Amino acid sequence: MDAKTLPLSKYLNVERKKLEKLGVFDSTLGVDTKLFVDPKLLIRSNIEEFKNSRKIILLYFAKLLNIHKQSHKSPRLLIQARDMLAVKEPQGLSIGYGNKTDRGTAISKTLANKILLSASEILAVGIDDEELIETLGLFIDGFGPDSMSDLTVSIIYHDFCKYTQKIAKDLKVKTQKYIIDNKTYILPKHPFKETCIIFVPFSFLSPLPLAVSWDQIAEAGFHNRKLRNEFNSIIFPVLKEILTEIKEKSDEEKNTLREGFNTILKIYRKINVRGYDLKLDSKGYYSIQPFIEKESVNIKVESLPKTQEELKKSVRDLIKQFERSIESNGGNKLLYRKTKTGVPIKDSPHNEDVSQTIFYLIADLFCQKANILLSREPNAGLGPVDFSLGKSYDTKVLVEIKKSTNKDLEDGYLKQIKAYKKNEAAFYSFFIVIIVKEVQKTVTELNPQLKRVKDIYEKNTKYNISTPELVIIDGLIHPSPSKLRS
């Protein structure tokens, strides 16, 4: 069975530290990092290939707005403006899902039309600034960080190609010729797709681009008294406004909207954002791969499953190895945010996707050895089934992973029961809950919601009602033996 995940450094046969020294983000190919290219981070870049990137982006947006302003004269111009937004997903980007085989649009035509409609309303109140495109994520549902990131990369894709070509040459890694928009580049081949791979400087990455986060805009405004006052008096009223039917608003309302947008742009220009701190790793993504490398020697497979019962036993063995990684081998430390000195903050767990990624990478190693098909199935059926493991299309086991602090834990379990019963291809299902957070001192002191889930599981099991098998894993940070003795 072929691997579905692979560290970029391992694929290139280069040490992670060497990539970091060159400024390249060492992603895990095949896993969504949920880090995004923030256009603001390009402003002061001293990377040679990106010195003009910010200018290229703003010129692109200026051209887009100019075409859009004239689009009432011709449907062709409206289509041209829409197509400037509805760009293709950037090929081979090393921070997205590495196992995608298609190349869809980064922004759908429907969303592009919605963006243009909002742009029209903003232009109508007298705001004509190319940077307003970057702030539209604050107002438009669906224009999220992935869309903004993909649009940014698409506009300066050739700069990324030149950067990757240079780094690949410096590293002396295996490359081949690619012709992109009639330009020739010598780039590494992506391990999971018939395309090149594109390196991303970690100095460009952010967990959430500034232009789609009201919290960051507000926080920046609060650092400056004048901007804070403008934010309180102008921005919040603007938030209550609906960006439609601007023509029907009074001149006073239009002036308020115009002042609000000008203040947003003022704040946006003043904020100095920083790239993702790899050492602090505030989202927990970057610390996972080194742990998995150490754990790889512990991943054992007793036999290759052939029957349904053998498959169920294999998946249970996998879950036990995942449990051991968390409870005994230090994986629990990855589940929490950490201080600048690297100490886990026991009452500040990471998002659920960290534990899910750890499981996925361990499962990938296990399934390669066991010859089991592994896939992620977000939002499958009636509930969000995280993983599917099987021997064929109609013989598979479902696995879902939740934190004990998930407010929808009980609802998620009930939904998975329904999904499990309805999914004819799945003959068995596991529901894994990882206990996190220091407020719960021991694994035996289950929180009320998890206790109800446990009661449902035990009741269904007692009366032979089909139900996902519940597995509870201790993810708490416990005192070291020396501290216990003292």
Task: Report in angstroms the alpha-carbon separations of 190 from 8, 11, 119, 198, 373.
Answer: 10, 9, 37, 8, 21
Q: pLDDT tens for residues 410-424?
A: 998 998 888 777 776
pLDDT of residue 98: 40
Element (H, E) at 348: strand 344-349
Helix axes 352-370, 308-327, angle to 10 degrees: 130
Higher pLDDT, 341 or 239: 341
**Given pLDDT bands bounded at 50, 70 and 90, which one contains residue 443?**
low
Position with higher pLDDT, 125 vs 374:
374
Task: Identify whether the C-beta of residue 475 lies closer than 8 Å to the C-beta of residue 326.
Answer: yes
For residue 247, which amino acid is it? Answer: K
User: What amino acid occupies position 430?
Assistant: F
- Residues 74-119: tens digit of each pLDDT: 999 999 999 999 988 888 988 864 444 444 567 899 999 989 988 8
236-250 pLDDT tens trace: 555 545 455 566 677
Q: How many CB atoms lie within 10 A of CB 90?
A: 23
**DSSP code of 485?**
H
Q: How far apart are CA 266 and CA 255, in angstroms?
A: 16
**DSSP notation for 244-266:** S-GGGS-HHHHHHHHHHHHHHHH
pLDDT of residue 425: 74
What torsion, rounded to 10 degrees, do the Cα atoms 314, 320, 322, 323 define? 160
Among 380, 385, 394, smallest CA distance to 430 is for 385
Average pLDDT of every residue of the chain:
86
Alpha-carbon span 409 to 398, nearest angstrom: 17
Of 203-212, 321-330, 390-399, least confident by mean pLDDT is 203-212
User: Tell me, what's the pLDDT at 455?
Assistant: 96
The first and second tokens of residue 247, run together, are 């023509």
Of all helices (H) and strands (E), which one includes residue 352? helix 352-370
Q: Which helix (H) or strand (E) holds 397?
A: strand 395-403
Handedness of CA 231, 234, 235, 236 (dihedral sign): positive
* CATH (one of 3.40.190, 3.40.50, 2.60.120, 3.40.91) for 288-485: 3.40.91
pLDDT digits (tens, 9 = 90+) for 268-287: 887 778 889 999 999 999 99
Alpha-carbon distances, residue 426 vs 31, 318, 463 (angstroms): 24, 17, 21
- CB–CB of 37/53 below 8 Å? no
Q: How confident is the model at residue 214 (pLDDT cuts 50, 70, 90)?
A: low
Instruction: Count other Cβ atoms within 10 Å, centred on residue 28.
Output: 26
Question: Are the CB atoms for 143 and 212 separated by under 8 Å?
Answer: yes
Looking at the chain, the whole-number percentage of residues with pLDDT higher than 90 is 57
pTM of the predicted structure, to 2 decimals: 0.87
**DSSP 8-state code for residue 478:** P
Domain with CATH 3.40.91 in the chain: 288-485
